[in-house]
């Protein structure tokens, strides 16, 4: 069951490393943060976890907040 859930999660990871709310949608902070939490608990998924983490780190503002997505002009998280 864990393998099926992991495969489903990974099939929804975007090429930029982030995750959208649903498959094929633009990566956003909330979906990527939740996916990162799930992936970090599975040692074999380290590479995918690193990509998702990098997506989050790249978009974090100096004050520690994040925009919802790449199109947002201000913090939402």
Q: For residues 58 and 6, give the distance between their C-alpha atoms in angstroms, rounded to a whole number.
A: 24
Distance of CA 43 to the CA centre of its chain: 17
Decide if 27 contacts 20 (C-beta within 8 A): yes
Flag whether pLDDT at 4 surpasses 90.
no
pLDDT in tens, 12-60: 999 999 999 998 899 999 999 999 988 888 877 777 888 999 999 999 9
Residue 1 is predicted with a pLDDT of 73
């Amino acid at each position: 069951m864990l393998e099926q859930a992991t495969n489903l999660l990974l099939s929804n990871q975007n090429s930029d490393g982030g995750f959208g709310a649903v498959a094929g949608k633009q990566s956003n902070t909330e979906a990527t943060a939740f996916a990162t939490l799930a992936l970090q608990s599975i040692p074999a998924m380290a590479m995918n976890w690193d990509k998702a983490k990098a997506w989050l780190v790249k978009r974090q503002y100096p004050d520690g907040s994040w925009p919802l997505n790449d199109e947002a002009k201000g913090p939402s998280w």
